[in-house]
Structure 1
């Protein structure tokens, strides 16, 4: 898939076919996250790849909007160090967002659907995945082949109009 095709095909997928994903495809998605841009090349992330179905079911309970994680073929949990400094925390969130999008685009490039989810129950997530006390689970990316229809470019996305978003030169 070309970059533009991956960008225009990517959508949040929350229902997946009941099939596993090849490890080499999962590694490619993880590599996209590892290569994501990072402020001062900080790379403040670690990624936990989860494919065990029981663990996925339990992870689906760590946030009220994470039900789709239970049916995923795999879920990547982005983990980062807890930052007390507000400036570092802002840069951390920015970097994590870039890693998240890089992985979601890499998944789309492979025809794999993705759906992100927050983590509110940090203690349960830490217990399930063995995350150290000085770190937190920032976001989860559920992955799988879409159950409804394959990924393909979306002609009219549900987005604000281009002219409402883009301001040339000044507001």
Structure 2
């Protein structure tokens, strides 16, 4: 019976502890899988794409490989404008690999492709982070954590004190 009276305090303490434990955000590249992109082949069954860096500049003379089930199906080199063409390919799910980057593609014939299918398979290489311009956090994360901890501790102390007061009032007898 005693532990049941303490259950709200235990739950509150565990909630506070969960907020204090540092959380590591997942990077977009390592933890989150990107969905496959729908790409339509040309009328003659050619996959067309472009290899660009993180700034959008075309990369010429680079090797592009298409894999299916972990095996290379086709390889080619990019032209001066970064464009590559691979023919003939059958419809299916492939992985395009170049410069250490990869992207899953769902390849469709020209006639069966859904309306959202793209005509080009664009692969962006490079590890340059892309960030919004002009954004600054209003408060440093350590200050937000410290303020939140102080607020939670104050609420917890206040709740614990009010519970003790209720117990004292209940046990007090009239003269």
Instruction: State the TM-score, normalizing by the size of structure 2.
Output: 0.21
Of structures 1 and 2, the one scoring higher in RCO (CA 8 A, sep 6+) is: 1
Larger CA Rg, structure 1 vs 2 = 2
Structure (1 or 2) with the greater helix fraction? 1
